[in-house]
Amino acid sequence: MGNSNEVSANLKMNETTENGSRREINGVTNVYYEGYWIKYYEPPVDNLSAKKSLIHSLTRRLFNHMEHGINIPGKLLNTIRAAYEAEQDPRKKRVKGAMLAGALFNRAADIFTHLVDLEASGVEILPENDLMHTCGLCLREALEFGKLVKHRNGDEGIDELWGEPFKAFIMSIDDFYKSRYIKIAMTMKNIDQAAAYMAACIKSDPRFPGLDLLILDYAKFARRKCETLRTDDDIFDVWSNFVVAGEEVTNFIPEDDASLADDVLIDIIDIKYMLKAGVRLIAFITRARTPMPKSTEMYLSECERFKTRACWNNDRGSL
């Protein structure tokens, strides 16, 4: 399938599309949310077994994107809670709070696993069951302590990832899927924001002809990766296209033009740093499938400092 969002602009020009609308695009069902057509996946049957699988998947994804060392087994919950409460150093307390969040998360997953096993044995599990209540409390508390956890890039915690398993616990699977489509659309918008800024920075720079188009291509493949599940048969092509598109941006070789020596231009070393940081940021956003506003703001601010420095150096005759 070609990227569904390549045609979304034309569709929006001809009609007002409501969120949740579906359309066949290149033979594949897509759903529309917040300006983007997103590949649609039929949600599974809503039962405890399906919720167990969904929460386990969200748990793996969460720990994959968070800082190292916080995936604490649920059986150690009381131990890490005591360590957290006893810690006096604010920096160490944050880390131990992050570890407590991980233990709470895993305790909830442990409970849910056993509940599903009981249900498979013919035991009816009602919503008001004490263990169901305890599971919900663990997820709620994990969400609160999750605010202390940082993404692996060290810039922000992506609270949304901590909230997803709790939403999967309290919401119907169908409603949860709808909420994820909205989040994916917001993620795609974040990808386009970062890519558009990167492209604009070098579009008029004759040393980098055509690089702006490669950056926009990278955003296109990032959106495609964002909408594709890891279990999808297309994932092998989607992932390899995404990786190669990023490498084409970071490995771009600028042209040398001595006639530009007196122009106000950003240093090539700074531009290459900006490109690598931008590709890395988009990769983080894409893999998390969650907007990263703080990291994006920091990246844009750093790019602005490079541009300001170029002008300042030119005034001093350094370029």
Q: Helix, strand or coil for residue 37?
A: strand
H or E stretch at 290: none
pLDDT for the residue numbered 186: 94
What is the identity of the amino acid at 222? A
**Angle 5-7-10 from CA coordinates, rounded to 5°:** 125
pLDDT for the residue numbered 167: 80
Domain boundaries, the chain: 48-170, 183-315
Mean pLDDT by 10 residues, the chain (319 residues): 46 67 93 94 87 82 82 95 96 94 90 81 79 87 86 63 75 89 95 93 86 96 94 94 96 74 66 91 91 88 74 42
Strands 36-39 and 28-33 come out as antiparallel
